[in-house]
Structures are given as C-alpha cells and as structure tokens.
Amino acid sequence: MGGLSEKSTRGLPVWLPPALLTLAVTVTGLGSAQLWRDELATWSAATRSPGELARLAGTIDAATGPYYLLMHGWVTVAGDSTLALRLPAVLAMTVAAGLLAVLGERLVDRRTGLFAGLLFAVLPGTSRYGQEARPYALATALAVLATLLLVTALRRPGWARWVGYAAAVAALGLTHLIALTLLAAHALVVLITWWRGPAAAGITAPGGVPAPGSEPAPAGRQPGVIGGPGGRDRRLWRWVVAVVPAALVVTPLLLRARTQRSRQLSWVSPARLDDLSALPGGVAQSSVVGGLVVGVAALGAARLGRRALLPVSALFLPVVLLFAAGTVVPLWVPRYLVFVVPFACLLAGAALAGVSAPAALAVVVLAGLLGLPDQTALRRTHEWPRSAPVDYAGAARVIADGQRPGDAVVYSPRDSWLFLDLGIDYHLDDPPRDVLVTEDQVRRGDLWAAECAQPAQCLAGTSRVWLVVAGRRAEPLAGIQGPKGDALRADFSVAQVWQRPGLTVALLTRRT
C-alpha cells in the first residue's frame, strides 16, 4: 500500500482507521435532524414495558419486536433523548466499518480491507442509517460479522467457530428478517467449498494460498458424499447445523410478521424493473455516489476473479430474492437492503487496492465530496423526500408557548404513519389533554390510539382546542372528515393559525 501502509498506518490494526472515520462522520450533527416518524415509533415502543412490547408485537411490527426490546433496555439506562436513541446506530455502523476492513483483509489483503472500510465510512447512507433509531445499522454490522465468522469457520473448521457463526445469524434474523436473504450467498459459498474446496470458492488466505487448516477437496469426491472418501470435510453439515438454531428462533417471529404484512406494509407498491436502477442511490442515499460505488465495485469484481464469489453473491442474491418476492407481495423497500452495502464497498476496495495509495484515497475523497449535499440534507431531516420535512418540534413549541390549563389537543389524521400525536408528545413535557382518545397506544397494544366514536360528546366542556393537522392548511378545519370534523366546525371557530413545515397548528375556541 505504499506510504499509507508502511508509514501512516504502521502498527495500526486494519479496522481502526475505518472505524474512527465512521464514528467521526456519524456523530457529526447527530442530533440536528428531528426524530422522524419511524424513529417516533421506536421511541413509543422502547418506552413501554416488556409485557407491553409483547402485546404490541402481537398486533403490529412483530418483525421489529426484538429490536424494540433491545432499545427498551438501552433507554432505561441512557434515556430517550434524540442523541441517546440514535447512539446505538452510531456504534453499530462504527463496528460494521471495522468488521468490513477485517473481512476485506481476510478475503483479499490489507489494502482491500482498509479502502473498503474508508469508502464505507464516507457514504451518505452510512451516516443516514448510522444516525437513525432503527435496526438497519445493527443489521448491517451483524451481516458483516456473520460473513466474517463464516469465512473463519470455512478456513479452520471447528465447532467453536460454527457456534459463533450460528449466534451471529440468529441475531441477524431477530434484528432484520429480510437480512436473512444473506444466507443464500452463504449457502452458495459453503456448497462450492464442500464440492470443490476453499480455493474454488475464493476462501483462501491473502495471495490466493489456502489458509492453514483449510483442506482442498479430496480427490475422488463423489457427488453427495461429504468429504469424499473418509468423509474428511464436514463443512456443509456443520453449516446446516449452525443455521438450524437461527431457523428455530426466527420462525415464530416470521410467521407472526407474515400475518401483519398487509397492515405493516400497506404503503408499499409492487416491485418494478426501474426500482432496481434506483437501488444504488436509495441505499447510498445519493444517486451519484451510489453509481460511483457500483462502477468501482464492478472493476473490483473483475480483479478478484473467484475471490469475488462471496462479496458478489452477498451483494446480489439478497437483492434478487427481495425483488422477486416484491413482485408478488409488497416488500420492496430500498432501506431494507442497506446491509448489502458493505459488500459493494469490499469489491470497490479491491479495485482501489490495485492502484497507488494516493489514487485510491482520491477516489474515497471524491465519494465524500460528491455526497456532501446529501450529507448536509440528511442532517436537516430524515423524511423522504427531504424537501417536505415535518416540524414536530416547531408545532410543539407553538402549543407550549400558548397553552393554558384545561386546553385539549386534537389530531387529524389520527391513524396515519406521520404519528402526529407521538411527535407532539415527544417534544412536550406536559402536552394538552388528548380529548378524543378513548384507549391510548399502550393499552391498545398498537402504534395508534383509538378515538371517541361521538366526538361532540367528548369535546363537551372544552373551551380551547389545539388542532394539529398534517400539511399546510389555510383553512385547517375544512379538510377534517367525518363526525370529528363536523363537531369541530359546529362548536368551534379558528382563533389563530400557525404554519410549520409539514404541519398546521390552529387554536380553536368554543363558539358562544
């Protein structure tokens, strides 16, 4: 690696520079953007008891239940501030970058691992999901960890290594069910290793030499015979045994999540071919940077030859499987595939390892510079599109500044994914009485509260109402449908209106 390896990083473990750079990038502006709607769901769930979380998982979002339980423990210790909620994602992305560098070193060489980790650190997507209180950063770290442990177990077969791999796969499935599509890539590599030996699958030590403890395929192997004569190579069966515990742990979760799919993913459209072309920009959070990574990764795959099998399959098979499933049932959401990004960076790192260190670093810097506009934008808001943020904090300040004892609050719409009530509650220490609620989210075991069937009766005795409406409304009462709108228009008049990005707040007073 020229001067970079022999001088700048002499004596440093390969994982340290990418991990430190990722940590520095992701903590920058960590609390700048407000919690967006998905993070508000995390906050709502994490602040419930384990029993209440179990009730929630039985109603909706079972797939994210284990992550919510983890965040419940974290919030109990660290609190529920924006920084506290996002810090686990920062740490997970930092670990992912370090593990990626180690994986690149194990599969190819030190240069590949180092440049792969550095490139991963500067991607806008790394910051985006490393600054979000959602499970994608943790799933990314576990995907790289499971793949690294697989490589270790294939090179030096032993039950202790397979146990570590089994634990990582189970944790991956509990964190993000769709990330288990990575097992298709693992299965392919294991089969080729069993059939043709580690060298055929690219599981060799740096330089292309089989690692110590790794045996070539025995001569005379017959199809379907484990290890050929003598049965010396049991990698396939050990991999199957390692995956079984993960399947046992994840299957009940998968079955429950399947029954909730129509409600949980009602907003998702079937996958189309043009969704594939938009995927690099979606997971990298920048079309330009995503295209750059894909182009350099293609050069790296060509350079690696058979050693590209694992990263290429880990990159493409999850995409193909999710796309195929998404054409049948609504599942195609680009952020669900964030965990494949490290493998694209590994391939790109292999390409950068083939040029001089200054040229490789120039590409990393270029990726960082091209992503600067997106880096800046995602620190303003996590909403998509970013031109339409929702200012929950601004709306809460309006209410806090004008609130009086006895005031009530009404939300419209109540049952949307904007979570208007959660956004206001998060930013207000003492919110007005939610006058129409008959059963809150916790008691209902849901992310949405149940409202009064006869709003006029529930509003009786209330003289001032704070109305929070989605979107910018010059006439906030005009767009409210049903009995709720009828009751508000009949008994209240608009005293004042405040416009905030994505929201309208109105103070209503009872007609005399």
Cβ–Cβ under 8 Å, residues 296 and 348: yes
Give pLDDT, residue 45: 97
pLDDT band, very low/low/confident/very high, at 366 (cuts 50, 70, 90)? very high
Question: What is the C-alpha to C-alpha distance for residues 469 and 189, in angstroms, rounded to an integer?
Answer: 53
pLDDT at 227: 40
- Alpha carbon distance 40, 80 (integer Å): 11
pLDDT at 266: 79
Angle between helices 357-370 and 287-304 (to 10 degrees): 150
* Band of pLDDT at residue 10, cut at 50, 70 and 90: low
Average pLDDT estimate for 466-486: 93
- Give residue 352's pLDDT: 98
Which residue type, as a one-letter code, is found at position 71? M
Pair 110, 60: CB distance under 8 Å = no
Note the pLDDT of residue 159. 83
The yes-or-no verdict on residue 219 having pLDDT over 90 is no
Identify the pLDDT of residue 278.
Answer: 93
- Mean predicted lDDT score pLDDT of the chain: 90
- Nearest of 392, 504, 436, 330 to residue 39 by alpha carbon: 392
Q: Looking at per-residue confidence, does 346 or 219 come out higher?
A: 346
Q: Which residue has the higher pLDDT, 113 or 415?
A: 113
Q: What is the pLDDT of residue 8?
A: 57
Report strand pairing: 408-412 vs 464-470: parallel
Q: How far apart, in whole angstroms, are the C-alpha atoms of residue 141 and residue 307?
A: 22
Tokens 């960082």 — which residue? 368
The distance from CA 388 to its chain's CA centroid, rounded to whole angstroms, is 21
Nearest-angstrom CA–CA distance, 86 and 26? 10
Residue 78 in tokens: 């660290």
Whether residue 512 is predicted with pLDDT greater than 90 in this model: the reply is no
Contacts of 120 (CB under 8 A, 6+ apart): 18, 22, 96, 97, 100, 126, 341, 342, 345
Q: How far are the Cα atoms of 17, 61, 336, 371 from residue 264, in angstroms, in the given order? A: 39, 7, 14, 32
Question: Would you say the C-alpha torsion 213, 219, 223, 224 has a positive or negative sign?
Answer: negative
Cβ proximity of 502 and 391 under 8 Å: yes
**DSSP strand pairing (503-510 vs 464-470):** antiparallel
What integer is the mean pLDDT of 405-413?
96
Tokens at 454, concatenated: 């006869």
Residue 403: which pLDDT band, with cuts at 50, 70 and 90?
Answer: very high
Is it the case that residue 224 has pLDDT exceeding 60? no
DSSP letters spanning 145-210: HHHHHHHHHHHS--HHHHHHHHHHHHHHHHH-GGGGGHHHHHHHHHHHHHHH-TTTTT--BTTTBP
Q: Is the pLDDT of residue 5 over 60?
A: no
Which tokens go with 204?
């060799």
| Three-class SS state of 507 | strand
User: Does residue 220 register a pLDDT over 80?
Assistant: no
3-state helix, strand, coil in the chain (%, to 5): 60, 5, 30
**In angstroms, rounded to a whole number, what is the distance separating the alpha carbons of residues 331 and 321?**
11
| Cβ pair 234, 226 in contact under 8 A | yes
- Residues 497, 476 contacting (CB under 8 angstroms): yes
Q: So what's the pLDDT on residue 387?
A: 66
- For residue 231 the two structure tokens come to 């049965």
Task: For 412-465, write each residue's pLDDT tens digit.
Answer: 999 889 999 999 999 999 999 999 999 999 999 999 999 999 999 999 999 999
What are 147-201's pLDDT values in tens digits? Answer: 999 999 998 878 889 999 999 999 999 999 999 999 999 999 999 988 887 777 7
Which of residues 417 and 317 earns the better pLDDT score? 317
Instruction: Give CA angle at 383 (340, 23), nearest 5°.
Output: 50
Distances (CA, A) of 90 to 20, 21, 137, 375, 421: 11, 12, 8, 15, 27
CB 310 within 8 A of CB 151: yes
The DSSP letter of residue 7 is: I
Work out the pLDDT band at 205, boundaries 50, 70, 90: low
What pLDDT sits at residue 430?
92
Written as one string, the DSSP assignment of 274-316 is HHHHHHHHHHHT-HHHHHHHHHHHHHHHHHHGGGGHHHHHHHH
Element containing residue 206 per DSSP (H, E): none
Q: What local confidence, expressed as pLDDT, does residue 330 receive? A: 87
Cα dihedral 316/183/190/100 (nearest 10):
70
Mean pLDDT of 282-305: 96
pLDDT at 379 over 80: yes
Helix axes 82-107, 16-27, angle to 10 degrees: 160
Say how far apart CA 464 and CA 494 lie, in whole Å: 10
Percentage of the chain beyond pLDDT 90 is 79
Does residue 101 contact residue 209 with C-beta atoms inside 8 Å? no
Question: What per-residue confidence (pLDDT) applies to 195?
Answer: 86
Token pair for 145 = 């960890």
Considering only CA atoms, which of 402, 420, 431 is closest in space to residue 508?
Answer: 402
In tens, the pLDDT along 226-280 reads 344 333 468 888 999 999 999 999 999 999 988 888 788 878 889 999 999 999 9
